Amino acid sequence: MTPGSQPITVPASSSRRRPAHRRRAATSFLAAACLVAVLDRPGLAAAEPAGSRITAQAASPSDGSPGKAARQAQLERLIGQLLSAGAPGVIVRVDDGRGRPIQIAGQTAWSRQDHRLQAEDEFRMGSNTKTMMATLVLQLVGEGRLALTDPVEKWLPGQVPDGGAITLRMLLNHTSGLYDYTQDPVLLPSILGRDARQWTSAQLLAVGVRHDPVFAPGAAWAYSNTDYAAIGAVLEKATGRSLADLVRDRIARPLHLRHTYYPTDSTWRGRHAHGYEPDAAHMPPGVPAEARDYAGTHHDGHVNVSDSNPSWGGAAGAVVSTAQDWSRFYTALMSGRLLPTAQLAQMRTTVPVDPDRPDGPGYGLGIETATTPCGTVWAHDGGIPGYLSTDFTDSAGHRTASVLVSTEAFAETPAAFPGLTKASKALQSATICAMFDKPTPTPPHAD
């Protein structure tokens, strides 16, 4: 499940080199972390598509930064370019810790017949869900009910091959070696919205472990959604409660996140962004044949995939939230409100995602970190059909930012969507810099 000018190199075992249905966006924020935005230079600005609509909450003159209005204007221009490149809709929210946050929503004219996009709309978080699942595990660790050194076998006896050698920490930081269940062809009908079955954590885990592992436990790093299917099953076993109840009672209610929930079916609870993918006739040639035909209502060369059942994402990617709710979640998480000091430190203990770059981007327990041209971010991204979101914060949770693009196939096969990929990376880069209240660096050899 899914989220630069010099994309981060990832070893061949990484999910970033998997087939199109891997649900781990190749345009992740770790790639954008090295990006210097180039689309907002004079002569490169793209006109917004005819009839598109961009609405923004204006920065207040008392917000304390003379450059904030300029950064909002830059974000609006980049959103316009992303719409021109093929995005049906975009939401950006930036809170630099001073004054009113920037909130912008933009959408194409054809998508407005379904929904008028607003910055406050709910959307599917995809793999951002992993940060929330890791938080639940670490809460239980702090209470003495789980230990990161617990072998999977202790909680799920007989369900995971070599489960005695795989610890909960390995599941949380993707060093278990388990095969990613979203690569199994049995999941593809659900991913495409053509199979509405209700998947359980145990069923998703069973799909993943019927394949050979990709390496021995603890020997390397490779992103695998099966890790979090196992985490979901452990949480259910250790507490005797559903993931929906745990998210509600341990995170959403205490933080007053009114639009954050773990869905039990395809039903939305509030106003929500509509997600789209190109229909089969308008998919670029580079998209594999098996991943071209989504289920949903067709119009204007697109398929509305908003009502597909996300249960196949499970603990790896099913949560629904909003940009504002997720900002509040990140602030509570990184400031220590949700976790004791020791458990927050464990979450932020990372392993390199590239063994050749030990000081490069790292993955902790359900959260990633990278040093960007404007500052060090903690973040995650999430891709599920119709929704690609990336969420950022600083180390203290004082600054937060989110970007939603209401389509996701381009992130699975970026080479097939070069314009959309380039525009998305540029917007991510500018959003990170706006979060730090800094201008986006320009390329050293810009013409």
Q: pLDDT per residue over 82-135, tens digit each?
A: 999 999 999 999 999 999 999 999 999 999 999 999 999 999 999 999 999 999
HSE-up of 308 (CA within 13 Å, CB side)? Answer: 30
Q: How many helices (H) does the chain have, and how many strands (E)?
A: 15, 14
Query: In a 10 Å sphere around its CB, with 0-12 CB exposed, 13-18 middle and 19+ buried, how is residue 351 labelled?
Result: middle
- Out of 28-37, 55-64, 269-278, 427-436, least confident range: 28-37
- Let me know: does 299 contact 111? Beta carbons within 8 Å: no
Report helix, strand or coil for 20: helix
More confident residue, 196 or 11: 196
Per residue in 326-379, pLDDT (tens digit) is 999 999 999 999 999 999 999 999 999 999 999 999 999 999 999 999 999 999
Beta carbons within 10 angstroms of residue 272's beta carbon: 20
Q: Is the pLDDT at 409 greater than 80, yes or no?
A: yes
Q: Is the pLDDT at 308 greater than 60, yes or no?
A: yes
Of the candidates 189, 150, 196, the residue with the CA atom closest to the CA atom of residue 169 = 150
Q: Is the pLDDT at 45 greater than 60, yes or no?
A: no
At 256, the amino acid letter reads H
The confidence score (pLDDT) of residue 51 equals 72
CA distance 224 to 86: 29
Q: Quick one: pLDDT band at residue 55, thresholds 50, 70, 90?
A: confident
Instruction: List the catalytic residues.
Output: 127
More confident residue, 61 or 244: 244
Q: Is the pLDDT at 4 greater than 50, yes or no?
A: no
The confidence score (pLDDT) of residue 41 equals 37
**pLDDT, average across residues 183-187:** 98
CA distance 405 to 276: 10
* Contacts with 144 (C-beta within 8 Å, 6 or more apart), sequence order: none
Beta bridge partners, 379, equal 368, 392
Mean pLDDT value across the chain: 89
The confidence score (pLDDT) of residue 47 equals 54
The confidence score (pLDDT) of residue 232 equals 98
**pLDDT, average across residues 231-247:** 98
Q: Is the pLDDT at 79 greater than 60, yes or no?
A: yes
Which tokens is 195 given? 């199979």
Helix (H) or strand (E) holding 343: helix 341-347
Per residue in 138-171, pLDDT (tens digit) is 999 999 999 999 999 999 999 999 999 999 999 9
The confidence score (pLDDT) of residue 3 equals 34
* Contacts with 348 (C-beta within 8 Å, 6 or more apart), sequence order: 364, 367, 369, 378, 395
Q: Is the pLDDT at 33 greater than 80, yes or no?
A: no
Beta bridge partners, 106, equal 54, 90
Which tokens is 308 given? 């597909």
- Percentage with pLDDT > 90 across the chain: 83
Strand 375-384 versus strand 302-304 pairing type: unpaired
The confidence score (pLDDT) of residue 206 equals 98
CA distance 203 to 409: 25
Q: Is the pLDDT at 44 greater than 80, yes or no?
A: no
Q: Quick one: pLDDT band at residue 447, thresholds 50, 70, 90?
A: very low
The confidence score (pLDDT) of residue 24 equals 53
Q: Is the pLDDT at 193 greater than 80, yes or no?
A: yes
Query: In a 10 Å sphere around its CB, with 0-12 CB exposed, 13-18 middle and 19+ buried, how is residue 26 labelled?
Result: buried
- Out of 54-68, 169-183, 211-225, 428-442, least confident range: 54-68
